[in-house]
Structure 1
Amino acid sequence: MNRIILIGNGFDLAHGLKTSYRDFIDDYWKTFIEEARKNGSSYEDDYVSFKTNTKTLAHIISGDTNNLKLLEKDIEHFKSGIWGGNGTTIELSFKNSFLEQISKHVSDKSWVDIENEYYEFLKKSNHGQIEILNEEFKAIEQLLEKHLLKIQNGSEIVTSIFSPIRSKIYSLIFSRDLSKEDSFIYEIESDLEELDDSNIRELDGILEDCKNIYNEMKTSSIDVKQFISNYQKEADLDSESGIDYIEEKISNNTIPDYFMLPKEILFLNFNYTHTQEKYISDKQFIQTIHIHGELNNPKNPIIFGYGDELAEDYKQIENLNDNEYLKNVKSIRYLETDNYRKMLSFIESEPYQIFIMGHSCGNSDRTLLNTLFEHKNCVSIKPFFHQREDGSNNYNEIVQNISRNFTNKAAMRERVVNKTYCERLT
C-alpha cells in the first residue's frame, strides 16, 4: 500500500513561513507604505497611486501604520484635522481593481482566498471585463511569486516541529484507518506469495534500509522470517488459512512492522515552496510532485486559478464558448507539464492512503481532490488538524471541506478517518 501526503499552505505556516494570502497582502501594503514615506508628496507602483497636494505623505502616515485599513484611517484623520481644509487633496487610487477587492476583503474580514475571489469576479464579468480581470489576476500572480521567493529565501524555518511531523509522515499503516482492510490483507498475502529464497536472504539489508527511514520500526529479520515461515505453513494447508493467519496477526497487533509500512510515499505538494524537502531522507522510496508548480522554475510554472469543475455554474461558463473565461482553469493548466499524469500513474498503481497536512481541501482544488478521494484505490483519508491556542481545532472544518469534494457521500464516510484516530499536525 502506498501513501500520499497532501501538502497545503498550513504546512508552510506550521514551519513559521508567512505564506498565507493575508501575509502576502499585508506584506505588499507594508512595503508600499514604507516606500511612500520616503517619496515626498506622491508615490506609485504598478498597482496603487498615493499623492497629496500638501505637506508630504510622511505627514499623513502614522508611525505604526503598516496596512491598508490603518492607512485609510490616517487619511481620514488628516482630512479632519487642521491641515484638512483649504483645498487639501489626498488621493489613494488603485490601478488594479482586483488588488483593491482582495485588499479590502482582508481589511474587513482579516482573511482572503484569492483564487475563490477570482472565481466570483469571473462569474460576474462580461467579455470586456474578463480580459481586464485576467490581466490584473496575472499581475497579482507575479507579485505573489516575488513575495513567496522572498519568504522562501529569507526566512528561518521552525525546526522544533521536524521530529513530530517526520514521525507522522513515516508512521506505520494502522488497519483501523482503512476502509478496505481486506484489500490490505490480500496485498500482504500477494507480497508473501512473491517471496522466494533470494528475497528472504536479502531481508537483513532491506530491513536496515527501512529502519533508516521509518524510525518507529522495531521488527528484526528473525521476526519477519518467523512470520513468513508460519504463514507458509498455514497457506500450504489452504489459501483461506493463510489469509486467516494474516488477519489474526493484524487484529492482535503482532504482525511484524515491516508489513505495515507504506511501499512508496508521494508528497503531492500544492504549495509553490520546497519545505517538504526537509523530510526526504531516501529518494528511493519517495516521490515529490509539485502539482501547482514551483517558484522561479519556467519548466514547472506556478498554477494559480480555480479548479472547481463540479460547481453548478461551471458548465454555464464553458457554454459561453469564450476561451478567455477558461484561461485560469487549473485542470487545463495541468496539461502544461506531466505532473498530473505522474499523479494518475501513482494512484493507479495500487491502493493508497492519504494524509492531509496543512491543506484545507477547499473548492479551489475540488476537481483534483475529487479524483484522488473517489478513486477506487483510495482506502483512507486522514486529516492532521491544527490545534488552536484556545484548545479547539479545525478537524470538523477540514472534514466539511472534504465532503464537498465527494459526489459519493457513502464513500466519504467510509474513507475519512474519524477524529478519535486523528492527530494534530504539530
Structure 2
Amino acid sequence: MINRLIILGNGFDLSHKLKTKYSDFIENYYSQIKDSSWKDDFLEFLIPGYLFNNMNSLKEIMNYMSSRLGEFSIMHPEKNLHINRKPAILLHNHFFYEISRKIESNWVDIEIEYFHNLLKILDQPSTNSIYDDIKKLNQEIDLIAKKFEDYLIDNVNPEISSKYNDKTAHLFEDRLIPDSESIEEFLKEFPESYAKTIRTDLMKKWKDNNNWSKFDETLILNFNYTNTAEELYSDKLKNYKTINIHGSLDDIENPINLGFGDEMHKRYSDIEEKNENEYLRLMKSFAYTNTDNYRELFNFIEDKVFQVHIMGHSCGISDRTLLNAIFENKNCKSIKVFYHNYDKKNTNSQSDNYSEIVRNISRHFNQKTLMRNKIVNKSLSTELPQLKL
C-alpha cells in the first residue's frame, strides 16, 4: 500500500561515531606529515630539516614554520600565493589548500566550494585561460576524491561493524504495534486528505492479520560513500533495496561521485552556454548516467505512494535537482525528518536541527503549498539516535 524511501546523509554515519567528515579526512592527512621532507600530489616542502610532531592541520604546521623562519612563501607552480621572503611550501593542489585553510575556522561543503570556484573562474576578466583553469580545478577535485576514498577504505570501513546501535535499528523496522491507536498515530504523519483514503484499508489489514508491515517496500537512497545502514541493519528489513547514489568505495562500476548537483541554480545555464563539456564534467547528473541508479530510483518513486524518511541528510543545495524530483513527485505523500538533538552542553542556541533541515527542504520545492502539506511536524518526528561510546 505504501512504500518507504530512506534518504541517508553523512549525519547518519556521524551518529555512529564514524569519522567521515571532510575535516576528519583533512586532519588525518596533515597528521601523517612528520617532517619537511614530505612531498606528494597535494604539496611539498622546499626547506628540509623541520620535524612536525603531533600536528593535525596546515595551520599548526605553518605556525610552527613561521616561528622558526619568520615570513615565508607558499608557492603555486604557476604563481605565487604569498610573496614573502623564503620559499618554503610548493602547492600541487590549490583547491585542497583552500579548503584546508577554510575548514580550520568553519565547516566547509567541498561541493559548494567547488561550484563557487568554478563560477569564479568563469567570471574572471581574461578569458584566455578559462578552459585550462577549469580543467585544472576538475583534476584537483578528482585527486581529492581519490584520496578521500582511500581514507574511508583504510580508516572508516574497518570500524563500521562495531558501531551497531539498538535504537537506530528500531528506526528501520517497519512493523506497527498491533493496535488501532498505533495506526492512527501513523496516519497523522500524512495529510488528512490522503489518510482518509487509506484508513479503512489499514484497519482491515490490521484486523485480518495483526502482524503486518507499515511499508510494502523500502528503498535506501544512500548519499554516503560508506554502506553503514545495510551492513548493520539489513536484518531489520524484509523487502528492501539500496541505491548508493553517489557511488561506492572501491567500485569500478559505481565510482564515488564528488561534484555539484544543483541544475536549478540561477548560474547553471551560464555554464551550459559556454559549450565546453569539461565545464560540466563534475555535475552530478552526468555521473548518474553511468549506472542504472537514477532509473531505478525513478521507477521506485513513480510506481507507488511513498513516505520519505530523512536520516542525517542536511538537504543542502548541492543535491537540489535530485531532491526536488523526489519531494515534488505526486507519489510523495509525506516527508519525515529524523533530527539531531544537540548535546545539552552544546552552546548552540538551538536544541536540535529540525527547523534547519525543514528550511533546507523548502529550497527544493517550487510549490510551497506542497511542502507544507508533506512535511511531518516536529511533534510527530523522531530524533536520530547517537551512538554512545
After TM superposition, the score normalised by the length of structure 1 is 0.77
Report whether the alignment pairs 1:154 with 2:191: no
Query: Within 2, Cα distance between the matches of 1:291 and 1:279?
Result: 19
Q: Which amino acid counterpart does residue 96 of structure 2 have in structure 1? A: L
- The answer as to whether partners of 1:8 and 1:360 remain within 8 angstroms in 2 is yes
Other-structure match for 2:302: 348
Stretches of structure 2 lacking an aligned partner (at least 5 in a row): 72-84, 122-129, 177-182
Query: What does 1:23-42 align with in structure 2 at a 5 Å threshold?
Result: 23-31=24-32, 33-34=33-34, 37=35, 42=37
Q: 1:324 to 1:49 in 2, by over 3 A?
A: same
Query: Within 1, Cα distance between the matches of 2:160 and 2:200?
Result: 46
1:283 deviation in Å?
A: 6.4
- The answer as to whether partners of 2:173 and 2:236 remain within 8 angstroms in 1 is no
- Which moved further from structure 2: 92-101 or 305-314? 92-101
Query: Within 1, Cα distance between the matches of 2:56 and 2:156?
Result: 22
Pick the aligned partner of 1:263 from 203, 216, 225. Answer: 216
Other-structure match for 1:249: none
- The answer as to whether partners of 1:355 and 1:383 remain within 8 angstroms in 2 is yes
Pick the aligned partner of 2:60 from 70, 75, 81. Answer: 70
Query: Within 1, Cα distance between the matches of 2:15 and 2:355?
Result: 19
- The answer as to whether partners of 2:157 and 2:226 remain within 8 angstroms in 1 is no
- Give the SS at the match of 1:379: strand
Q: 1:266 to 1:353 in 2, by over 3 A?
A: same
Other-structure match for 1:224: 208
Q: Which amino acid counterpart does residue 358 of structure 1 have in structure 2? A: G
1:42 deviation in Å?
A: 2.5
Query: Within 1, Cα distance between the matches of 2:292 and 2:202?
Result: 30
1:155 deviation in Å?
A: 2.2
- The answer as to whether partners of 1:51 and 1:57 remain within 8 angstroms in 2 is no
Report whether the alignment pairs 1:318 with 2:318: no
Q: Deviations over 1:287-344 (max 9, x none)?
A: 1111111000111111110000111111111111111111011111101000010000
Query: What does 1:26-425 align with in structure 2 at a 5 Å threshold?
Result: 26-31=27-32, 33-34=33-34, 37=35, 42-52=37-47, 56-58=49-51, 61=52, 63-80=53-70, 89=86, 91-109=88-106, 111-125=107-121, 126-155=130-159, 159=163, 162-171=165-174, 172=176, 174-179=186-191, 181-187=192-198, 223-224=207-208, 258=212, 261-277=214-230, 278-281=232-235, 284-390=238-344, 392-425=351-384
Query: Within 2, Cα distance between the matches of 1:9 and 1:148?
Result: 13
Q: Which amino acid counterpart does residue 113 of structure 1 have in structure 2? A: D
What is the aligned residue count?
A: 348
CA RMSD, 1 decimal? 2.3
Q: Deviations over 1:151-190 (max 9, x none)?
A: 3333255646x221122222547111112x4445545667
Select the structure of larger CA radius of gyration.
1
Other-structure match for 1:199: none
Query: Within 2, Cα distance between the matches of 1:170 and 1:20?
Result: 27
- Give the SS at the match of 1:267: strand
- Give the SS at the match of 1:43: coil
- The answer as to whether partners of 2:314 and 2:357 remain within 8 angstroms in 1 is yes
Query: Within 1, Cα distance between the matches of 2:372 and 2:64?
Result: 52
Q: Deviations over 1:85-106 (max 9, x none)?
A: xxx9460221111111111111
Q: 1:191 to 1:420 in 2, by over 3 A?
A: closer
Q: Which amino acid counterpart does residue 39 of structure 2 have in structure 1? A: E
- The answer as to whether partners of 1:16 and 1:156 remain within 8 angstroms in 2 is no
Greater share of helix: 1
Report whether the alignment pairs 1:18 with 2:41: no
Query: Within 2, Cα distance between the matches of 1:345 and 1:102?
Result: 38
- The answer as to whether partners of 2:328 and 2:365 remain within 8 angstroms in 1 is yes
Query: Within 2, Cα distance between the matches of 1:159 and 1:415?
Result: 32
Work out the percentage of aligned pairs sharing the same amino acid. 40
Query: Within 2, Cα distance between the matches of 1:157 and 1:387?
Result: 24
- Give the SS at the match of 1:127: helix
Query: Within 1, Cα distance between the matches of 2:171 and 2:326?
Result: 20
Q: 1:17 to 1:97 in 2, by over 3 A?
A: same
Displaced runs of 4 or more, over 4 A: 187-193
Stretches of structure 1 lacking an aligned partner (at least 5 in a row): 82-87, 196-218, 226-255
Q: Deviations over 1:199-242 (max 9, x none)?
A: xxxxxxxxxxxxxxxxxxxx7xxx426xxxxxxxxxxxxxxxxx
